[in-house]
Amino acid sequence: MSWLSQIVVRLSGIVAVVGLVLATATPASAQSLIRDTEIEGIIHEWSDPVFTAMGLEPSEIEILLVNDSELNAFATRGRILGLNTGLILKTRSANELLGVIAHEGGHIKNRHTLRDGAQGAGMQPMLMTMALGALAIAAGAPDAGAVLLGNSQYFGTLSALRYMSHQEGEADNTAARALENAGESGRGLVNFFENFRSQEVFSDARRYPYFRGHPLSAARIENLRRFVGEQPSYSRTDSPGRVAQHALVLAKIRAFLDAPNQTLRDYPESDTSLPARYARAIAWYRDGQTDRALAAVDVFLTEQPDNPYFWELKGQILFEEGRPGEAIGAHQRSVELKPDAPLLRINLAHALIETQDLAKLDEAVVQLRRATALEDDNSLAWRLLSQAYASQNKEGEARLASAEMYFALGAERQATQFALRARDMLQPGTTEWTRAMDIVFASGATQDDVDDLDRRNSRRAPVGVIPTAG
């Protein structure tokens, strides 16, 4: 399955479209998410010790990679932390990217959200100013009242900005302390802000979205610089391994998002580093130069035979070339090397299903059930599981998997419909039947709703047909 095969883009696994809300900023438009086990793993490897030092549970932080060229990052309720690809590509070091992640983690730690913050902080003074203006007009001072009314939004905006600046300072301090406690330098965060210092003099229309929601000021940068400069870890630099990881992340994102010709210009064959060779292999694959791409990946596997992501890429190339049977072996090896990665199991199951070999469906079901156990909101896994069950003529299980898919997507009405259909085809009292009813009730239906539906179905049932009990 291609990185570009669903909606807009994918690295491996699923793509979903969601509406994202920035911390202390305006809501972003719906964007596509990208999933990649390798990149997600690298980011968590760097970030988890910092989250722990911050007092957060790393497993509860969901890091989203957003396919958007704008420089932006955000934190929302539910401990969700988002990074635009545009921001990742503009970081000049792993330490800079880690600094931004730590800052967004600071927003999560301090429970900063849009609705709890800037809107409320700005609304109160605006309403008070409008009230004073109305009183001034009533008291016989229409000119003064008009000025107050005209400036009410201005005063509200100033208050909101002060509130946002306060939140940004809190997030900076939380990030800097956590980085130090994790043995990391805070210099990257300061350098990232310093690199975009000019943003503070731009109008909102010209600023990057990140700095519209995270206002910079010279005082803020200097306060942060002073604090991190006093810390013992300030002079610590990225290890060679982390430098290589950062370069690989940038190369992989560019190779999948940019046109192949652009990638080949950015990573010419004179560059023999692994990230450059990786990028070229992906570019050749996306350009239809399959044999050349496979030859490059085989070289990688000679050098690193136990790298699950090289096996994943080989399987992906073969799958996209219409050779799912050949892709199975590569995907199986990737799963063997990293069995806790649900996206790799989904890749394997998809290849098994696409062979159209009924004998391979049992294994596909096994892989998908394990994937959904690891990641129960993965809508692609549920869709493929429904497809596999339908091919096995297991209609109840197929409808239950479809209900799970819609439930994961937040489509409650469709989830309820499929769950009720599944219930009528499954053996009452079984685990699957109980799960179908769980989805029905979790989607907002009550027992009275279910009983009413059963009565209506009973009245419509043909003569001689006994309706299924609810």
* Lowest-pLDDT choice from 31-40, 138-147, 328-337, 449-458: 138-147
- At 25, is the pLDDT very low, low, confident or very high (cuts 50, 70, 90)? very low
Task: Tell me the per-residue pLDDT of 234-262, one tens digit each, with 9 for 90 and over.
Answer: 999 999 999 999 999 999 999 999 999 99
The domain segmentation of the chain, as residue ranges, is 17-113+161-229, 288-392, 394-470
Question: Which comes out higher in pLDDT, residue 216 or 103?
Answer: 103
SS3 for the chain, per residue? CCCCCCCCCCCCCCCCEECCECCCCCECCCEEEECCHHHHHHHHHHHHHHHHHHCCCHHHCEEEEECCCCCCEEEECCCEEEEEHHHHHHCCCHHHHHHHHHHHHHHHHCCCCCCCCHHHHHHHHHHHHHHHHHHHHHCCCHHHHHHHHHHHHHHHHHHHHHHHHHHHHHHHHHHHHHHHHCCCCCHHHHHHHHHCHHHHHCCCCCCCHHHHHCCCCHHHHHHHHHHHHCCCCCCCCCCHHHHHHHHHHHHHHHHHHCCHHHHHHHCCCCCCCHHHHHHHHHHHHHCCCHHHHHHHHHHHHHHCCCCHHHHHHHHHHHHHCCCHHHHHHHHHHHHHHCCCCHHHHHHHHHHHHHCCCHHHHHHHHHHHHHHHHHCCCCHHHHHHHHHHHHHCCCHHHHHHHHHHHHHHHCCHHHHHHHHHHHHHHCCCCCHHHHHHHHHHHHCCCCHHHHHHHHHHHHHHCCCCCCCCCC
- Convert the pLDDT of each residue in 343-376 to its tens digit: 999 999 999 999 999 999 999 999 999 999 999 9
Q: Which of 46-50, 102-106, 137-141, 184-188 has the lowest mean pLDDT?
A: 137-141
How do residues 179-233 score in pLDDT, each as one tens digit? Answer: 999 999 999 999 988 886 654 433 454 445 555 555 556 778 888 899 999 999 9
Residue 157 has pLDDT above 70, yes or no: no
How do residues 117-149 score in pLDDT, each as one tens digit?
444 444 444 445 445 545 555 555 555 555 444
Is the backbone of residue 84 left (phi > 0), alpha (psi -120 to 50) or beta?
Answer: beta
Q: Which pLDDT score is estimated for 19?
A: 25
Which one has a higher pLDDT value, 385 or 112?
Answer: 385
Q: Mean pLDDT, to the nearest integer, of 56-62?
A: 94
β-bridge partners, 388: none
pLDDT of residue 195: 80
Q: Rounded to a whole number, what is the largest CA-CA distance in the chain?
A: 88
Q: For 287-339, how does the pLDDT look when each residue is reduced to its tens digit (9 = 90+)?
A: 999 999 999 999 999 999 999 999 999 999 999 999 999 999 999 999 999 99
Q: Summarize the confidence of residues 385-397 as an average pLDDT.
A: 97
What pLDDT does 12 receive?
40
Which of 51-65, 101-115, 398-412 is predicted least confidently? 101-115
Q: What pLDDT is stored for residue 390 in this prediction?
A: 97
For the whole prediction, is pTM greater than 0.85? no
Who wins on pLDDT, 162 or 278? 278
The pLDDT of residue 65 is above 70 = yes
CATH number for the domain whose boundaries are 288-392:
1.25.40.10
Q: Give the Cα separation of 257 and 43 in Å (integer).
A: 19
pLDDT for res 376: 94
